[in-house]
Amino acid sequence: MNGEVGAVKSGERAPQQGGKRQRPQANMVNVYIMGKRHVVPEHATIMRAIEYAGHQIIRGAGCREGFCGACGTIYRLPGDYKLHTGLACTTLVQEGMSLTQIPAVPMEKAIYDLEKLTPDVRTIEAVYPVTFRCVACNTCSKACPQGLPVMDYIQAAMRGDVAKVADLAFDCVACGLCALRCPAEIVQHKVGILAKRLTGRYLHKESKELAARLKEVASNKFDAEYEELMVMDKTSLSKLYYDRDMEP
Ligand code: SF4
Ligand code: SF4
Ligand code: FES
């Protein structure tokens, strides 16, 4: 974000009324964005509320549909001591919500050569030794907007159960909110990604279907389709994407 709110730029359409909280008009709620009060539609997501308040989000937004993890947000609610976490694009505003969107949680990404690793606890120790600082407080699981059992996958990592980590962390969107709250300063999602890579490389049975498809790709079977896609305009691409066959 940039300007007033991290990756948010100030705009002109802000119905800003700083100062004391007042009863908002029907279908509108008060929210505090970086400490400043705005009146926004009650059914808006946090991301839409930020934009409604007149800001342009230039960092901290990607898919806008809960997949990319770019829009981690922390907030508090009136009369509630808890610091809540959520994704700005999927969490709805509430009356009196006080929020800050976190465009990126700084953390170091380990560099490793997957071909030189083994899918066991020695790799976890070598690549992310910080994992073993876990004090089993479960703060990470409570912070996860995906509802993942984050502590359980970190505990599995400490046991060297790489496949279990990969399984439990499968739906992680790498928002970093767990790492932000962890008192032991562990980078949970990075551990999850490492486990998923190890599992894919060493532990999963070979997929015959994947091997067959790779062979087709190598034989240039899809080249004409790729070329068609590369010159397609945005509207046609979008239509093609949303009209595609999807598994239920
Ligand atoms: S927040 Fe950190 S220390 Fe607490 S359970 Fe999760 S990984 Fe362990
Ligand atoms: S495990 Fe951590 S990084 Fe992944 S979605 Fe949950 S809170 Fe975000
Ligand atoms: S913008 Fe991608 S998860 Fe929110």
- Residues 213 and 235: their CA atoms lie apart, in Å, by 28
The upper half-sphere exposure of residue 25, i.e. CA atoms within 13 Å in the direction of its Cβ, equals 6
More confident: 160 or 8: 160
- Residues 244 and 229: their CA atoms lie apart, in Å, by 14
> Same domain, yes or no, for 96 and 140?
no
First to last CA, the chain: 36
> Same domain, yes or no, for 127 and 161?
yes
pLDDT bracket for residue 206 (50, 70, 90) = confident
Query: What's the mean pLDDT in 7-15?
Result: 44
> Same domain, yes or no, for 93 and 131?
no
Instruction: Please report the pLDDT score of residue 104 as a whole number.
Output: 86
pLDDT bracket for residue 5 (50, 70, 90) = very low
> Same domain, yes or no, for 34 and 58?
yes
Query: What's the mean pLDDT in 75-104?
Result: 96
pLDDT value at 3 more than 70? no
Q: Could you tell me which of 77, 74, 79, 89 has the C-alpha nearest to residue 178?
A: 74
Ligand 3 centroid to residue 25 C-alpha, Å: 29
pLDDT value at 239 more than 80? yes
pLDDT tens for 55-89 read 999 889 999 999 999 999 999 999 999 999 999 99
Of 101, 126, 143, the one marking the end of a domain is 101
Confirm whether 241 is domain-assigned. Answer: no
Confirm whether 223 is domain-assigned. Answer: no
Q: Measured from the CB, is residue 176 less than 6 Å from ligand 2?
A: yes
Ligand 3 centroid to residue 74 C-alpha, Å: 14
Task: Give the mean pLDDT of the chain.
Answer: 90
Instruction: Please report the pLDDT score of residue 4 as a whole number.
Output: 42
Question: Whose Cα sits closest to atom 3 in ligand 1?
Answer: 134
Ligand 3 centroid to residue 151 C-alpha, Å: 23
Q: Measured from the CB, is residue 155 less than 6 Å from ligand 1?
A: no
Question: Whose Cα sits closest to atom 3 in ligand 3?
Answer: 66
Query: What's the mean pLDDT in 136-161?
Result: 98
3-state secondary structure of 160: coil
**Burial track 118-135 (b if 16+ CB lie within 10 A, e otherwise):** ebebebbeebbebbeebe
Of 52, 79, 101, the one marking the end of a domain is 101
Count Cβ atoms within 10 A of the Cβ of residue 109 and give its class: 0-12 exposed, 13-18 middle, 19 or more buried. Answer: exposed
Query: What atom in ligand 3 is closest to the CA of residue 60?
Result: 1
> Same domain, yes or no, for 73 and 48?
yes
Confirm whether 3 is domain-assigned. Answer: no
pLDDT bracket for residue 20 (50, 70, 90) = low
Confirm whether 22 is domain-assigned. Answer: yes
| Residue-range definition of the domain harbouring residue 86 | 8-101
Q: Report the CATH number at residue 184.
A: 1.10.1060.10
> Same domain, yes or no, for 19 and 82?
yes
Where residue 144 falls (left for φ over 0; alpha for ψ -120 to 50; beta otherwise) is beta
The helix or strand, by DSSP H or E, that contains position 28, with its residue range, turns out to be strand 28-33
> Same domain, yes or no, for 86 and 131?
no
Query: What atom in ligand 2 is closest to the CA of residue 85?
Result: 7
Instruction: Please report the pLDDT score of residue 59 as a whole number.
Output: 87
Instruction: Please report the pLDDT score of residue 11 as a whole number.
Output: 41
- Residues 40 and 190: their CA atoms lie apart, in Å, by 36
Do 30 and 22 contact (CB within 8 A), yes or no? yes
Confirm whether 40 is domain-assigned. Answer: yes
> Same domain, yes or no, for 54 and 118?
no
Q: Report the CATH number at residue 89.
A: 3.10.20.30
Confirm whether 217 is domain-assigned. Answer: no
Ligand 1 centroid to residue 161 C-alpha, Å: 17
Contact residues for 119 (Cβ-Cβ < 8 A; gap 6+): 162, 163, 198, 199, 201, 202, 203
Ligand nearest the Cα of residue 174 is: 2
> Same domain, yes or no, for 136 and 186?
yes
The helix or strand, by DSSP H or E, that contains position 163, with its residue range, turns out to be helix 162-168
- Residues 178 and 154: their CA atoms lie apart, in Å, by 11
The tokens for 146 are: 């995906």
Question: Whose Cα sits closest to atom 8 in ligand 1?
Answer: 134
Confirm whether 238 is domain-assigned. Answer: no
Confirm whether 36 is domain-assigned. Answer: yes
Place of tokens 């007149």: 54
Structural domain tally of the chain? 2
pLDDT value at 13 more than 60? no
Of 101, 132, 155, the one marking the end of a domain is 101
Q: Measured from the CB, is residue 151 less than 6 Å from ligand 1?
A: yes
How much of the chain, in percent, has pLDDT values that exceed 70? 90
pLDDT value at 173 more than 90? yes
> Same domain, yes or no, for 78 and 122?
no
pLDDT tens for 24-33 read 677 999 999 9
Ligand 3 centroid to residue 37 C-alpha, Å: 24
Q: Measured from the CB, is residue 178 less than 6 Å from ligand 2?
A: yes
